[in-house]
Amino acid sequence: MLFTKVQGLGNDFILINCLQEPVWSGDLPGLARRACDRRFGIGADGLVLLLPSDKADVGMRIFNPDGSEAEMCGNAVRCAARFLYERGIVCRKEVRVETLAGVMKPVLLFEGNRVAAVRVDMGEPHLERSEIPMTGPPGRVLNEPLVLDGSTWHVTGVSMGNPHCVIFVPDIEKVPLAEIGPRLETHPSFPQRTNVEFVEAVNPAQVRMKVWERGAGETMACGTGACAAAVAGALNGFTGRAVTVHLAAGDLLIEWSKDGHVYMTGPAEEVFTGNWPEGR
């Protein structure tokens, strides 16, 4: 099985070009678990399949390391756009990618002839409790107390096509992410589980973020999570609507535009290609 390893700010993926490579006919969740294993497989935060689409240039399915399927991934869609352009599969600077969260529209940004970054129209955030989804009465979830094992965390709920629980803290370095992240991910308030972002507001234009991803655990970056953090920052008055999100391996630029859409700009890199012997 031919694959390309890609990464966006350390959030890494195994990309399978099913436009040219036969689509895996077996158990896709099982394939994701085996391929993403960092000791016995290729190793990644997710498995990405590029597929034919009748709505866009390409379809994209994303499976987490635990085998669950994600609706959308911002870092993965940037990587896919660069891959499609540099392989000559899509020869325009704007690529249309169909995901379970809708059609995304990444645009390649150049320095000379080199792709320097990718800007993605991530669509409008969904803020109603039922759209995240969370249990409870109708309305938005803004800085709402959530009890976990006797401790109270103030959460803001945002869906970027996938669920996010954003928590603002004075110092993200003091957050026990590996301990708290999985318990918030599976909290009964989130019937489809949730991604969890801990965010420290540095100033109105900058935040620092750590993330626990649903189905993947702690990762170095999360594109939809950075978008959710920016939206939550603006709604709670911590930031403006244009924010630099500082992550472990670099920055994402997020703008919640006047048109209601969230735009994300960041890098995407190819790491290596290979041929995994697990076959048909």
Catalytic residues: 73, 222
Q: Distances in Å between the alpha carbon of 107 and those of 96, 122, 145, 239?
A: 9, 11, 38, 26
| CB within 8 Å of 10: residues ≥ 6 apart | 219, 220, 221, 247, 248, 249, 250
Q: Which residue is it, tokens 């309305």?
A: 139
Q: Indicate the DSSP class of residue 86.
A: H
Beta strands in the chain (DSSP E): 2-8, 11-17, 47-51, 58-63, 69-70, 97-99, 102-111, 114-121, 144-148, 151-159, 163-168, 195-203, 206-213, 217-219, 242-247, 250-256, 262-266, 269-275
Q: Which residues face 115 on adjacent strands?
A: 110
Question: CA–CA separation, 103 vs 259, rounded Å?
Answer: 17
Alpha carbon 113 to chain centroid distance? Answer: 27
End-to-end CA distance of the chain: 8
Q: What are phi and psi of 179, to 5 degrees?
A: -90, -45
Q: Which residues face 12 on adjacent strands?
A: 7
Phi-psi region of 276 (alpha: psi -120 to 50; beta: other; left: phi over 0): beta
Q: Which long-range contacts (CB under 8 A, 24 or more apart) does 152-156 make?
A: 153/180, 153/184, 156/232, 156/235, 156/236
